[in-house]
Chain A
Amino acid sequence: MNTKIKITLIMTCVLLLSIPNMMWGQETPKLNDSEIASVAVVANQIDIDYAKMAIKRSKNKEVIDFANRMMEDHNAVIQQAVALVTKLGVTPKDNEVSQSLLKQSKETLKKLKKTKKQDFDKTYIDNEVAYHKAVIDAVNGLLIPQAKNAELKNLLEAVVPALEAHLGHAKMARSKISK
Chain B
Amino acid sequence: MRTHKSSISKYLLFFAALILLIMFLMGYKNPENNVGFSKAPTTHTVTIFRMKFNPANLTVKKGDTVVWINKDFVPHDVTEELSHKWTSKPFNKGEKWSKVINEDIEYFCNLHKVMKGTITLAK
Q: Footprint of B on A, CB under 8 Å? A: 69, 72-73, 76-77, 79-80, 158, 161-162, 164-166, 168-169, 172
Chain B residues near A164: list those with CB within 8 A.
Answer: 51
- The distance from the CB of A34 to the nearest CB of chain B, in whole angstroms, is 21
Interface residues on B, range: 10 to 19
- The distance from the CB of A111 to the nearest CB of chain B, in whole angstroms, is 27
- The distance from the CB of B92 to the nearest CB of chain A, in whole angstroms, is 9
Chain A residues near B115: list those with CB within 8 A.
Answer: 165
Inter-subunit contact B75/A168 (CB<8 Å):
no
Contact of B51 among A76, A77, A165 (CB under 8 A): A165
Question: Is B112 at the interface (CB under 8 A from chain A)?
Answer: yes
Inter-subunit contact A168/B50 (CB<8 Å):
no
Inter-subunit contact A80/B51 (CB<8 Å):
no
- The distance from the CB of A136 to the nearest CB of chain B, in whole angstroms, is 13
Inter-subunit contact A73/B114 (CB<8 Å):
no
Inter-subunit contact B51/A172 (CB<8 Å):
no
- The distance from the CB of A63 to the nearest CB of chain B, in whole angstroms, is 14
Chain B residues near A72: list those with CB within 8 A.
Answer: 74-75
Chain B residues near A165: list those with CB within 8 A.
Answer: 51, 112, 114-115
Q: Which 8 pairs, one residue from A and one from B, show the smallest C-beta to C-beta distance?
A: A168-B114, A161-B51, A161-B50, A165-B51, A165-B112, A73-B74, A76-B74, A165-B114
User: Which residues of B from 49 to 83 have beta carbons under 8 Å from A?
Assistant: 50-52, 72-75
Inter-subunit contact A172/B114 (CB<8 Å):
yes
Tell me, in angstroms, the Cα distance from A76 to B50 when the chains sit together.
14
- The distance from the CB of A145 to the nearest CB of chain B, in whole angstroms, is 19
Question: Is B8 at the interface (CB under 8 A from chain A)?
Answer: no
Tell me, in angstroms, the Cα distance from A168 to B51 when the chains sit together.
12
Tell me, in angstroms, the Cα distance from A161 to B74 when the chains sit together.
11
